[in-house]
Amino acid sequence: MDTPINPWSSQQTEDIEKLFSLFGIEHISTVAGILPRVPSFIARGVVVGHRDYGQIAEAIRDGRPFHVLTGFMPSGHPHLGHLMVMKEVVWHVEQGGSGYITIADREAHAVREIPWQRCEEFGREYLQCLYALGYRGRTYFQSRNNVLKDLAFEAATKVNFSELRAIYGFSDETDLAHAESVITQVADILYPQVESSPAPTIVPVGIDQDPHIRLTRGIAHKLRMFTVEERDGYISVRSKNAPAEALAEVHRMFPGSRKYEGHVDIPRAGCREVSTLVRKVEIAHGGYGFYTPSATYHRFMPGLQGGKMSSSIPESIITFFEPDDVVRKKVMGAFTGGRATLAEQKELGGQPDRCPLFLLNLFHMVEDDAELAEIHRRCREGEMMCGQCKKETAERVLAFIRDFREKMEAAAHLVKVE
Which residue has better confidence, 337 or 37?
37
pLDDT of residue 306: 76
251-274 pLDDT per residue, tens = 999 999 999 999 999 999 999 999
Interacting residues of 309 by C-beta distance below 8 A, sequence separation 6+: 79, 80, 81, 300, 301, 302, 303, 316, 317
What's the rounded Cα separation, in Å, for the pair 356 and 335?
A: 7
Q: What is the distance between the alpha carbons of residues 1 and 386, in angstroms, rounded to a whole number? A: 37
Rounded CA-CA distance 50/269 in Å is: 29
* Bridge partners for 238 per DSSP: 227, 263
Task: Please provide the DSSP assignment of 216-270 as one string.
Answer: HHHHHHHT-SEEEEE-SSEEEEEESS--HHHHHHHHHHSTT-EEETTEEEEES--
Question: What is the structure's pLDDT at 367?
Answer: 95
- Asked whether the predicted pLDDT for residue 59 surpasses 80, the reply is yes
Question: Among 49-63, 136-150, 341-355, whose mean pLDDT is lowest?
Answer: 341-355
What rounded mean pLDDT belongs to the chain?
A: 92
Q: Say yes or no to pLDDT of 418 above 70.
A: no
**Dihedral angle at the C-alpha atoms of 201, 204, 207, 210, nearest 10 degrees?**
-20
- % the chain with pLDDT above 70: 96
Of the listed ranges 18-32, 106-120, 260-274, the one predicted with least confidence: 18-32
Q: With bands split at pLDDT 50, 70 and 90, how would you rate the model's confidence at 8?
A: low
165 exposure class (CB count in 10 Å sphere: 0-12, 13-18, 19+): middle
275 has a pLDDT exceeding 90: yes
pLDDT of residue 169: 86
**H-run or E-run covering 298:** strand 294-298
Using the predicted structure, report yes or no on whether residue 11 has a pLDDT greater than 90: no
Sequential DSSP letters for 30-59: GTGGGSSS--HHHHTTSEEEEESTHHHHHH
Per-residue pLDDT at 2 exceeds 50: no
Q: Stretch 364-391: mean pLDDT, rounded?
A: 95
**What's the pLDDT score for residue 13?**
57
Residue-wise pLDDT for 386-412, tens only, equals: 999 999 999 999 999 999 999 999 999
- d(C-alpha 390, C-alpha 133), whole Å: 26
pLDDT of 338: 75
Give the pLDDT confidence score for residue 14 in this predicted structure. 60
Query: What's the whole-number mean pLDDT along residues 182-200?
Result: 97
**359, 400, 364: which is closest to 86 by C-alpha?**
364
176 burial level (CB within 10 Å; 0-12, 13-18, 19+): exposed
Calpha distance 417→107 (Å, rounded): 17
CA atoms within 13 A on the CB side of 83: 20
Closest CA to 285 of 255, 251, 244: 244
Please, what is the end-to-end C-alpha distance for the chain in angstroms? 33
CA distance 175 to 17: 32
What's the average model confidence in pLDDT over 209-231? Answer: 95
380 has pLDDT over 80: yes
